[in-house]
Each structure stands twice: as structure tokens, then as C-alpha cells.
Chain A
Amino acid sequence: MNWTSWILSGFVATIVLSAALATSQGLGLTRMNLPYLIGAVITHNRDKARLYGFMAHMINGWAFSIIYVLIFEATRNTSWWFGLILGLVHALFVLSVGMMLLPTLHPRMASERHGPTSRRQLEPPGFMALNYGYQTPISVFLSHAAFGSILASLYHLH
């Protein structure tokens, strides 16, 4: 594995992913504010949650890129379309399994079955995060596709 290339390509891809998600919120494609969603795991202070969430998302994206890189190394394939497909699979996993588990994993997220409590007050994402806007899956697929293809394009095999 090419560690230097991973650090650089993972960083760039994560920055692009974060920017794409923020832009799609700004453009009204989705209401989902991922840094806030992640940061609220750590703190109930909404302003700090955005900051902590952004940092956590950066680290998370970087860490996740290792899996991509390992697959690139294993398949010896770093074509952009291969990265794009990996990104789409990643997005599908996040939207289906990740969002389904989120109300259970997130300490401040309410569920439709139990309703909000004094501690759990955040709106759950629902199937494919559609509660956060019906175009949310499009935004997630596009941003993760960009993540995968950029990572593949920038990463140099060992």
C-alpha cells in the first residue's frame, strides 16, 4: 500500500465529499447536515456539534478511504469508474444499513416507535434518509460517487 498517496488522495476525496454534501444542502437537494448529525453524537451543543461533526466526518472519510485503497491494491485497478462504482456501493450501504441502524446507535435520535424523549430528540432519517428530503439519496449517491472516483484517480498503486 502506498501510504503517502493514500493520505493525500484520501484527504482530497473527503474534502470533496464534504463540500458536495454541504453544497447539495445549500442548493436545497437535501436538508441533511452531516456534520451536525455526527457531531450531535458527541455533544448537545448545536454549534459545537457542527464543528466536532465536521472534524469527525473528515477523520471518518479518511479512515474509510483505506478500505477503498485496499480494494484498489487487491484488484490492481484504480480507474475512475471503478472508484465511482465503489462509491455508489458505499452510498447504498450508508443509506440502507447505516440509516436503518442510526436511531439505535445515535444517543440523541428519536424513533417513530417510542417518540422523542428529553434525551432523544433528533428526527430519525427514515428509509434511505428520505425524511431529510426526497432528493437526499441523489445527493448521497452523487457525493460518494465523486469520493470514489477522485480517490481512484489520485491514488497511485504501490
Chain B
Amino acid sequence: MNDEERFSEWVREALREIEPPPAPREEMWARIEQVRRSRRRNGDHPWLVNAIRWSLPLAATLVIGIGIGRLTAGRSASEPAFVETPGIVALPASTEPALPYRVAAVQHLVRTEALLTSLREDTRSGDTTDISGWARDLLTNTRLLIDSPASQDVQLGRLLEDLELILAQIAALDGAPPADELELIEDGIQRNDMITRLRNATNAPAFAGT
């Protein structure tokens, strides 16, 4: 056993001594059931409940998004109110309950794409204060959207969850991070094909109806 292995064994043993207490199964289950019961009760009109809960922090984005949507819809009365492509149908604005969230999501994804594409340029100076602050703001909105009806769209939900991890890494950058930190983040962006997925999401026919 070499020095590193001996050291690791010592650390492992010391930490294993701090044995977790038994899981408080019943207490946790009671809380889980309570939350799930409450959600089922609100299930009669979940969109309304969630809209109230999530629309406040996203209000600014929603106002812009809905405004754009109305302008687009009002361009011509003869234009169809929805776009239909084989296999994908975007519902008319008035009948799609999650529409405001999808509009908010598009606005959010456009901003996030801007951050990811400028990551290397913005970190070249060695000062990551601006970009980590920007990422923190986007991270907050990403989490709001993950828990909003927008993520009922499976692909969008997955995209938001992948973004959450990457934005969390960028938000954690501090001062002049080592090159390997940035490489890991960029590797994550490339490995998950984030830029292409962001562009596809914001150009998807389902969003064109907005």
C-alpha cells in the first residue's frame, strides 16, 4: 500500500466512524404523503395554482413573451392562429394552458444560449464575477421553469435540467478559476450538445405558434 492509499484509507475510516443515524422512515413518509395529498387536492385546477405560484418571479419575462405572442397573433386575422407540422401541433394561443410558461422558457433559453456562447470570451480576462452573477440569475429562472408547467414538455424539461447543472458550475466560478474548471464546464456544454439543443428548442415548430 503506497502513501496515497494509506492516506485514503485513513480518511475513509475516519469518515465511516461518523455513521449516519437510522433513516427516520415514518417521519419522512408522513411528510411525503402530506405534500402529495396536498398536490392531489390542488389537482382539480393545477394550472391555476401553479400559475399563481410561479408567474410572479417570471412576471417580467412573461410580460415580454406574451406581448410578442399577441403582436404576432394580431398581425393578420387571416393567418392561422396555430402552426401545424407533421407529428407536431402547436395549439392555438387561447387553448394552451402552459403557453405563457413556454414563452417565458423561450426568452430564457435565448439568454442562456448567449451566456454559453460567450463563456470563453468572458472568462479570458480571468475575472468571472460578471458571468457568474449572470449565471446565478439564469440558474434561478431555470429552477423556476423546471418546477413550472413548461417542463411538462419532456424534451424541454430535460434541457432545463441539463442547463441547471451547467449554470450551477458557472455560477460557482470565483475570481480567476483554474483552466481545468473552465475546461470541465466547456466539456459539459459540448458533451450535452447544449448550444444545438438550445437553438433547436427556440426554433421548434411548437414554439413558432407563440
Say whether A and B bind each other.
no
Binding site for B on A (CB under 8 A): none
Binding site for A on B (CB under 8 A): none
